[in-house]
């Protein structure tokens, strides 16, 4: 089976690894010329995403590229501790959350995909795709075409593949907050391996202690109108968080600032697939910060497993969607609630800070078990060679 993957980020690279493990011939088309680069800031993988990486055979490589973050502390803006939790896992789960720069994660997954036999082509953007009954023809912006049995749209929240599948698909809309992130050094009280979340007056503030003694930070201010991102820097952020002790200390010590990004939200995506095209990751279900990478990895494992078990590509895609719809819809709702907590007004902040300590003690473990206890399907131990792939998939059209 020949597969075109559109997008070489986390979702696309993970899909390439997964599809090679079932013997598919995979070509990834990435719009940007830089093979990976430092796209975005840091990203965390929760236990469910880490189990997905284990199913792909790349868990140890990703762990080596990042560091474990077993603990999460939640703080009010005034410095009151609201909760002390295991980070991205159940309390008894030994699989600790891993944090790394998004660019390093993409590089690691792309390298694994290429070692497995996938081909990655950069600087090629999808402009159209047409199903042919027995396959799909992709049209790239250079004018050339590529044909395959399946096209996987892993091209993110601004997905061109989604628009091709459904011209009436909704566009993302600004969600009322943005993220600025960076690195600080010489900050006391942010110990390595601990994730701090401060619910400040201006918005949430994140700080993670890194083993080298630095602090990776992220500010998520609420803003009714999308700001001029070129104007967002440490000085502006220091003013927004001047009343919160930890954010102020971190921002004063900032030595590096990444390009800010806007948060977006979107109505549910109604059309995920046709007989030869399918969406994965944020292209089909943008879940926001915290679980985006983990959900992309889950999607990749489920898609490959569904295709391997099905009698045809259309049947495999139907099975994949049936498996993923309910879980991802539930997470989208959870992400919306988390976003609301970060953008709360004065009254809602007081209620949140009063209720959260008890709510976390009583309901956190039960309320997140469905998310963190997820077990991905098993995939073959190693990718097939191109010749084995041809034998294995010849009747599968």
pLDDT at 390: 31
Q: Is the pLDDT of residue 217 over 90?
A: yes
- Name the CA dihedral angle for 333, 336, 342, 346, rounded to a multiple of 10 degrees: -100
> How far is the C-alpha of 383 from the C-alpha of 21, rounded, in Å?
4
pLDDT at 36: 52
Q: Is the pLDDT of residue 204 over 80?
A: yes
Give the other-Cβ count within 10 Å of 310's Cβ: 16
Instruction: Name the E strands within the chain.
Output: 2-6, 25-30, 42-45, 67-68, 71-76, 81-86, 98-101, 119-122, 126-131, 136-140, 145-148, 150-153, 173-184, 194-199, 203-209, 215-221, 254-257, 261-265, 277-279
Q: Contacts for 224-230 with beta carbons within 8 Å, 24 or more apart?
A: 224/176, 226/174, 226/178, 226/262, 227/178, 227/260, 229/178, 229/259, 229/260, 229/261, 229/262
| Of residues 354 and 161, more confidently modeled | 161
> How far is the C-alpha of 260 from the C-alpha of 257, rounded, in Å?
8
pLDDT, average across residues 119-139: 95
State pLDDT tens for residues 149-167: 999 999 999 999 999 999 9
pLDDT at 38: 55
> If pLDDT is split at 50, 70 and 90, which confidence band does 397 have?
very low
DSSP-assigned beta bridge partners for residue 265: 173
Q: Is the pLDDT of residue 394 over 50?
A: no
Q: Could you tell me if 3 and 26 are in contact, meaning their C-beta atoms sit under 8 angstroms apart?
A: yes
Q: Which two tokens stand for residue 319?
A: 């099975």
Q: Is the pLDDT of residue 384 over 70?
A: no
Q: Is 210 left (phi over 0), alpha (psi -120 to 50) or beta?
A: beta
The helix/strand/coil state of 352 is helix
> If pLDDT is split at 50, 70 and 90, which confidence band does 344 have?
confident
Q: Average the pLDDT over each of 61-65, 126-130, 381-385 and give the range with the smallest value.
A: 381-385
What the chain holds in terms of domains, given with CATH numbers, is 2-70+94-170+266-341+378-393 (3.50.50.60), 173-264 (3.30.9.30)
Q: Average the pLDDT over each of 38-42, 127-131, 218-222, 298-302 and give the range with the smallest value.
A: 38-42
> If pLDDT is split at 50, 70 and 90, which confidence band does 188 have?
very high
Q: Is the pLDDT of residue 386 over 70?
A: no
> If pLDDT is split at 50, 70 and 90, which confidence band does 168 have?
very high
pLDDT at 216: 97
H helix or E strand, kind and range, residue 201: none
In percent, the amount of the chain with pLDDT more than 70 equals: 94
Q: Could you tell me if 248 and 254 are in contact, meaning their C-beta atoms sit under 8 angstroms apart?
A: no
Q: Is the pLDDT of residue 222 over 60?
A: yes
Q: Is the pLDDT of residue 251 over 70?
A: yes
> How far is the C-alpha of 139 from the C-alpha of 129, rounded, in Å?
6
> How far is the C-alpha of 104 from the C-alpha of 109, rounded, in Å?
9
**Average pLDDT of the chain?**
91
| Of residues 198 and 363, more confidently modeled | 198
Q: Is the pLDDT of residue 148 over 50?
A: yes
| Of residues 297 and 393, more confidently modeled | 297
Listed residue (246, 342, 212, 296) closest to 9, CA to CA: 296
Q: Could you tell me if 72 and 85 are in contact, meaning their C-beta atoms sit under 8 angstroms apart?
A: yes
Q: Is the pLDDT of residue 87 over 50?
A: yes
């Amino acid at each position: 089976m020949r597969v075109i993957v559109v997008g070489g980020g986390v979702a696309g690279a993970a899909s390439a690894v997964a599809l090679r493990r079932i013997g598919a011939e995979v070509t990834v088309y990435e719009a940007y010329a830089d093979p990976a680069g430092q796209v975005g800031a840091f990203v965390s993988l929760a236990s469910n995403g880490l189990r997905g990486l284990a199913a792909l055979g790349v868990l140890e490589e990703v762990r080596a590229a990042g560091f474990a973050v077993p603990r999460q502390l939640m703080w009010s803006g005034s410095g009151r501790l609201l909760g002390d939790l295991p980070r991205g896992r159940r309390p008894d789960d030994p699989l600790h959350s891993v944090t790394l720069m998004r660019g390093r994660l993409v590089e690691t997954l792309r390298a694994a995909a290429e070692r497995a036999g996938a081909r990655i082509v950069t600087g090629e953007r999808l402009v159209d795709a047409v199903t042919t009954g027995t396959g799909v023809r992709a049209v790239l912006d250079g004018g050339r075409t590529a044909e395959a049995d399946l096209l996987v749209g892993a091209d993110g929240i601004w997905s061109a593949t989604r628009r091709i599948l459904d011209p009436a698909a909704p566009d993302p809309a600004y969600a009322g907050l943005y993220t600025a992130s960076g690195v600080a050094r010489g900050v006391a009280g942010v110990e390595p391996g601990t994730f701090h979340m401060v619910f400040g007056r201006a918005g949430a503030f994140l700080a993670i202690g890194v083993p080298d003694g630095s602090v990776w930070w992220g500010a998520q201010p609420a803003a009714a109108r999308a700001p001029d991102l070129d104007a967002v820097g440490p000085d502006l952020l220091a003013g927004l968080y001047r009343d919160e002790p930890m954010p102020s200390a971190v921002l004063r010590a900032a030595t590096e600032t990444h390009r800010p990004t806007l948060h977006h939200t979107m109505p549910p995506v109604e059309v995920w697939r046709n007989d030869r095209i399918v969406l994965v990751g944020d292209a089909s279900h943008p879940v926001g910060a915290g679980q985006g990478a983990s959900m992309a990895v889950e999607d990749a494992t489920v898609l490959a497993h569904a295709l391997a078990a099905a009698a045809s590509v259309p049947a495999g895609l139907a099975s994949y969607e049936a498996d993923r719809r309910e879980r991802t819809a539930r997470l989208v709702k959870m992400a919306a609630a988390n976003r609301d907590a970060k953008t709360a007004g004065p009254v809602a902040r007081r209620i949140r800070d009063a209720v959260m300590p008890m709510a976390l003690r009583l309901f956190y473990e039960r309320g997140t078990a469905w998310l963190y206890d997820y077990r991905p399907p098993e995939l073959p131990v190693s990718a097939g060679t191109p010749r084995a792939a041809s034998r294995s998939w010849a009747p599968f059209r």
